[in-house]
Every structure is written in C-alpha cells, then in structure tokens.
Structure 1
C-alpha cells in the first residue's frame, strides 16, 4: 500500500508531468519527421546532425547561451551544409559518411572542453527527461508545433519528393526547396529529442519507430500514424520502467524502441 501511494505521488509530481509532456512532444515530432527521413534515406544524416546538436548545445552552454538554441543553430547549419555538399558532389553516401565523422569529432571536442561540467554534458549525451524545466517544454512545444505546421502545409510536396524526386522535379515541383526544408526539419527534430534521449540515441528514436511502421504499412499516412503510435508506446513505457527500476530514462527508451523494431522485423519477415 505504501508503495502504491509512493508511486502515485511520483506520477502526480511536477517533474513527472513535465517529463511526460516532453516525451509526448518529442515522440510525435520524431515519428512524423522520421517517417519522411527513412523513406528518403536520410537516416545517416540524422545521426550526423544529432552529433552536431550535441556540440551546439555544449558550446552554447560554455558561451553562457541557451543550449537548445546553440544546438538548433549548429545542427541546422550542419544539415544544410551536408545537403549542399551532397547535392554538388552527387555522392550523398560519401558526404554523409564524412559529415558523420566530422560532427562526431566536433562533439568529442566539445565534450573535452566541458570536463568541468561533466554532469551537464552527460545530460545532453544520454538525455535527462526527468530534469526538463517548463521553459524546456515550452521550447519543445514551439519547435514541434512550427515543424508539424510546415509538414501539414506542404505534406503533398514532401510525400512526392520522398517517393520519387525525379518525377517531382519533372512535374515542375521545387524539389530543391522542399529537400532543404526537410533537412532543416530533421535538424529541429534532433534538437527536440536532445533532452529526452540525448544525442547518442537520437537517431534510434528518429528512425526505429518509422522503420517499424514501414514494415507494417504501405501508405505514407498509415506509416506516420503507426510510427507515432510506436514512438509514444515505447517512450511512455520506457519512462515508467526507468522510474520504477531506477535506471536512466534515455537508454531505456532507446532499448525499447530498438527491440520493438527488431520484433516487428522478425514478425513481418516470418509471415
């Protein structure tokens, strides 16, 4: 009975409410953006941008600025630069491979510069959703609302270029514009995820729910709905399990999300 009362107190506490809101917001945005990213083959870019967002957050912290805006600035700059380089070289795989190594090096350098602030650096590396403030939640909500509004307004265009970019270009669609818009939205999604799962697990949270949904659905609309459902189920169960098992939340969510994808993959291939 005492355990039940204690558990209820935890669920009704202010930090838990903030954590749940942060998880829901980041899950929805990551699942929607991740659906387009997986179909477009931008998963590797998501990993590279996640490292850039970590470096931006740490540099922002060192400079006395809001780490979230530092992460947004550097991740967006990095994503656009990588997309531009890939466009010019026509070898996106090579560019993303180099970009991944470069962003990882920047993140490592930033971590070495924050040795005196190990705890702060650690929260951006693996996430600290239980420590988010109301200002963090509000920033997440604003970023996510703006991103989802853009997806809603240009949904047909994003869907078209995701499945057949050449045909979209032949029909006069401004493919380059929408490609860069999607790349920027990908950067925003990694920033929103940063306090929830950290940079090291951001790409898993971005890709795994969408990849699971693609195994189960054929239309883009169903993929998005399933991806959001999977992301919410994995993240909410992950946060509950981490609290009652007293283990880090970010890694727990990452493990559940990854195992969900592996389970879906196993089931779909054995049909």
Structure 2
C-alpha cells in the first residue's frame, strides 16, 4: 500500500501537480465558503467563464495569460455591478448576461487564434494540471498566500457583511468595497485554479467543498477549515486516481469532491437525508405530493 502512495511521487510532474492540487483545494474552499453563505454560486460561475477572453487577448498581445485572465475577471465584475446599479435588471440576470457574453467572446477569440497558430488553448477550459511548471506552482502559491492573508485580515468584516449586509452598511462598513474585494478574491482564486481544473470545472471546486462542510458544521470558520481539508483530500485523491487509472485529472478531482458531498448529504448527523428524521419526513411529503399530482 505504501509503495502505491510513493510511486507517483518519484516523478517531478506529479510532485508539482500534487502541490498545485493542494493549494487549489485550500484557496477554493476558503473563498467558496463566502459564496455558499451568501448564496452567490452564480457569481463564481460568472467570473470563471468571464476570464476566458482575457486569456485569449493576453496571448494575442504577448503578456502573461494569467494577468489577462485576472483583468478580464475584474472587468466582468465591474460590468455586472454597472448593469445591476444602473437598471432594474436583478443581479442574477446581470451575471447570466455578462458571463455568457464573455464566454462566447473567449471561445470566438480562441477559435480565431487556433486558425493561424498550432497551439491548444482548450486545456484552459478543462484544466491540465499534469503540465504545470515550477514557475506556475510558485505563482499559485503566491496567489494562495495573498488570498488567505486578505481573508484573515478582513475576516470579521467579511463575515459581518456576508451574514448581514444591511447591518454592516448601517454600522459604517464600506460594503461596496467589501463586495468588490470579494469579487477580486474570487477572480484571483479562479486564476490560481485554471491549470488544475480549468474554466468549466472551477466552480465545482469553489462551491462543493464549502457546501459539503456546510452540511457538517455550523460556523463560518469551521466551514472554511473543514472545506479546505475536504478540498485537499479530494484533490490528492483525484490526482492518484488520475495517475493509476489514466483519467483526466481535473474531472477526477471534481468527481471525488462530489463523492464527499454526497456522503455528507446522505449521512450528515444534522442534515443527512438518511440520518435526520426531519429531512426524511420532508422527503416523504414530497413523494406524497408527487403521487397526488400523478393521480
């Protein structure tokens, strides 16, 4: 058994991949917990899809593609806020409009680039963690450190704003800045996760570990810590499954994360479908209503 665990570590590409996977598991769960509590999962989806044109434009211009992705994420959040504040369009609708438009623009630019260049940018859609370089590991570590430092420094303010935005504004906190700062943290987290799971799957790593912890604990800091632990274990497990069974790494990590969520969903001591009587009674009521509709 020990030999199976050690075998992948003999290869430098696996060492780099595992380090990246651990960092991504930690940072995604830490930031994703705020999205879970605020019920803003769509915001993570919007920003993750919106970084794609930034990648393509950065490649065309010849600058760091991760810088382009980050800037595109920031621009998308500004556009979402602008639409929401200057019209009667609700925030969820504004997110859907912006992320679909940015994603379409990104796909179009990538298609144009690939007509004239023999280069594959599709790995940014689905991730390619096995190809990470030492420099990319360092970049991911730096982004993770920055995000975690900001979360620690502004933990109380972000928690207050997350649970009671109206009260936070009445208390004099700069809620607009906190909201924009949270969006920046999301954009940084997505940039850090691009090579690991890609644009399409990054939302799963942002939401699923935090959602799993949400079913098991009651406090935000516990949710962040447990979610990070789940993200790390799922990332490492997914990498090992990818290595031994020749599976795509990003999807393997996401599927393991989903497996942990289903275990919590079914067996959580306080909210599990199979372990909590209230949930069971709710399920029975739903089935009765469905049967009533079919009669």
Q: Same fold (TM over 0.5)?
A: yes
SS at 1:198's partner residue? Answer: helix
- For 1:148, the equivalent position in structure 2 comes to 148
1:80 deviates by 2.9
Task: Report the equivalent of 1:17.
Answer: 15
Partner of 1:188: 188
More helix by share: 1
Residue of structure 2 in register with 1:96 after alignment = 95
CA distance in structure 2 between the aligned counterparts of 1:208 and 1:114, rounded to whole angstroms: 33
Q: What whole-Å deviation, never above 9, does each CA across 1:81-106 have from its counterpart, x for those lacking one? A: 22343344461111112122212212
Distance 2:106 2:266 in 1: 35
Are the equivalent residues in 2 in contact too, given 1:127–1:196 (CA < 8 A)? yes
The residue aligned with 2:286 is none
1:52 offset after TM fit, Å?
1.7
Give how far 1:62 is off.
2.9
Displaced runs of 4 or more, over 3 A: 7-10, 87-90, 116-119
Equivalent pairs counted in the alignment come to 268
Counterpart pick for 1:76 among 49, 74, 77: 74
Distance 2:81 2:229 in 1: 30
Structure 1 residues 200, 258: CA separation in 2 closer, same or farther (over 3 Å shift)? same
Which range moved further: 54-63 or 216-225?
54-63
CA RMSD of aligned residues (A): 1.9
Structure 1 unaligned regions, length at least 5: none
* TM norm structure 1: 0.92
Is 1:120 matched with 2:120? yes
| Structure (1 or 2) with the larger CA radius of gyration | 2
Could you tell me whether the CA contact under 8 Å between 2:49 and 2:100 is conserved in 1? Answer: no
Tell me, in whole angstroms, the C-alpha distance in 1 between the residues paired with 2:242 and 2:18: 13
1:171 Cα deviation from its structure 2 partner: 1.2
